[in-house]
Amino acid sequence: MGLFDKLKQEFIDIIEWQDDTTDTIVWHFPRYQSEIKMGAKLTVRESQVAVFLNEGKIADVFQPGMYSLETQNMPLLSTLRGWKYGFNSPFKADVFFVSTRQFIDQKWGTKNPITLDDERFGMIELRAFGSFAFKVTDAGKFLKEVSGTEKTYTVDEIVGQLKSLIVTKFTNAAANGNFPIEKFAANLEDLSKIGQEKLNTDFADYGLSIMRFLVENVSMPDELKKEIFEYSRLNKIDMGKLAQMKAAKSIEIAAENGGGTMGMGMGMGMGMGMGNLMTNVLGNTMLPNQNQQNQQNQQMNTPPPMPPQIQYFLAVNGAQAGPFNTQQLTEMVQSGQLTRETLAWKTGMAAWIAAGQVPELSSVFGSVPPPMPPM
């Protein structure tokens, strides 16, 4: 190697990063032991930022453009190195290029179900997944808080931490979003917007920004889906139209089966019965207080049951006969088969006594006229 080549390698006069990757966020310019020549050309392309570090401290940050490195356009580095009088000798500094383009189509998803408490369906579990895009908005903060002095820093090294942060913030957004559970799938855009707002508050601490956040799907157990669909139908159903539809279908089926007039009548009856059944089901489900009031009114308008009739046993010709109710005993008195001296007994009496001594039978004997006086 000639002397000219050796001297040429001692000084760096062109600084640039021709990024040909799709996942590199930070790239350290390879200075090795060489020094940067005062007046060297710095090229910062669109979607890049160049950060100069002096002894581990962030000095100057260059936005996209072409620069001739002089003390005038390196105010912080000039101050740190003490170039008060424009000393133009070569200098040493670490140069980091930071990509500021968007890193798109980053996937996220909930590894474990999100547990929410719904007023109507109780504790439920949801899963969600989607995609997001992010970019570096503060290169200096990103170097200090995330990448440090690594020579190369890629998306894979940070995306795991970002996904964990996304799941945590999305869970909070879903729990505090005041969305009815049946509308989660219909409000993905609103969920995405709320999630992005909450995420950017935390991403800013890393010098990052969420440029796009999408909730692509919210899934739930099949049993819960079925309950939600049934609940939705009950809220939307028109009972009159449903009864008409059922009746029409029943008539159509009866006609196809050759039932004639009888089949038509049965179809109409089935349709009306179905309408009444659905009305009762909905009434019991949606108007329990009204049904209870109707039952109370019906009970008030219904007379109480008749008291049970008292029945007696009689001693006729030395044998037990009966039991007899009051009407039968009255007829026996009128025919002379029952007298006041006839022994009688009913449930609850300790012994047989004469029928004339039983208070309840006084009306039976009072209905029979006394014997005619002698002529």
pLDDT digits (tens, 9 = 90+) for 4-21: 444 444 567 899 999 989
Is 103-141+151-220's fold the same as 312-366's? no
Burial track 335-370 (b if 16+ CB lie within 10 A, e otherwise) = eeebeeebebbeeeeeeeeebeebeebeebbeeeee
pLDDT digits (tens, 9 = 90+) for 246-277: 677 677 777 776 554 444 444 445 445 555 54
**Two tokens, residue 32:** 């090795």
pLDDT digits (tens, 9 = 90+) for 48-85: 999 999 888 888 999 999 999 888 888 888 777 766 55
- Nearby residues of 46 by Cβ (< 8 Å), 6 or more positions away: 64
3-class DSSP state of 345? strand
pLDDT digits (tens, 9 = 90+) for 22-53: 999 999 998 766 688 888 899 999 999 999 99
**What average pLDDT does the chain have?**
77
Angle (CA) 111 115 119, round 5°: 155
> Would you call 279 exposed, middle or buried from its count of C-beta atoms within 10 A (0-12, 13-18, 19+)?
middle
> Would you call 48 exposed, middle or buried from its count of C-beta atoms within 10 A (0-12, 13-18, 19+)?
buried
Torsion angle, CA of 294/295/297/301, rounded to 10 degrees? 130
Angle (CA) 96 102 106, round 5°: 115
**By mean pLDDT, which of 123-137, 165-179, 246-260 is the weakest?**
246-260
Q: Is the pLDDT of residue 178 over 70?
A: no
- Greatest mean pLDDT among 57-61, 123-127, 239-243, 312-316: 57-61
Give, in words, the CATH class of 103-141+151-220: alpha beta
User: What's the CA gap between 309 and 307, in Å, rounded?
Assistant: 6
pLDDT digits (tens, 9 = 90+) for 139-169: 999 999 999 888 999 999 999 889 988 888 8
> Strands 208-219, 312-316: parallel, antiparallel or unpaired by DSSP?
unpaired
Nearest alpha-carbon partner for 223 in 343, 122, 75: 122
What kind of fold does domain 312-366 have according to CATH? Dna Ligase; domain 1 (3.30.1490)
Domain boundaries, the chain: 3-99, 103-141+151-220, 237-282, 312-366
